[in-house]
Structure 1
């Protein structure tokens, strides 16, 4: 599980400051989240990406050969 530290942490996962992202096993990640010192990365809604509108296609007039 990938988490982002909300506060400075030090322990079995290493030393992390607020904003650091790191990988832990699910049990440790759940404990950090329950304590309110980390959030799961990817659990936040991602900003919407606006896709450009498709270009209109103009029909070609049939030509006589």
Structure 2
């Protein structure tokens, strides 16, 4: 789960300063959220790829 540090913290995820975004397990995220150390970050889905794949030219016959 992606979270944002609300305070300077350190632990198994390393050292983080307020404002850092990082990923932790859902269980660890819930624990940090309950202690007001992090907030959940809404992950925005990337827009679908609307480009058509490029056609690959067949290798020239020798």
Aligned to 1:24: 24
Per the TM alignment, residue 20 of structure 1 is displaced from its structure 2 partner at its CA by 0.0
Structure number with bigger Rg: 1
Task: Please tell me the root mean square deviation across aligned C-alpha atoms, in Å.
Answer: 1.2
Per the TM alignment, residue 27 of structure 1 is displaced from its structure 2 partner at its CA by 0.3
Per the TM alignment, residue 32 of structure 1 is displaced from its structure 2 partner at its CA by 0.4
Partner SS, residue 39 of structure 1: strand
Runs of 5+ unmatched residues, structure 1: 44-65
Which stretches of structure 1, 4 residues or longer, exceed 6 Å deviation after superposition?
Answer: none
Aligned to 1:5: 5
Question: Could you tell me the TM-score, scaled by structure 2's length?
Answer: 0.67
Runs of 5+ unmatched residues, structure 2: 44-62
Distance between the aligned counterparts of 1:42 and 1:11, measured in 2?
A: 23
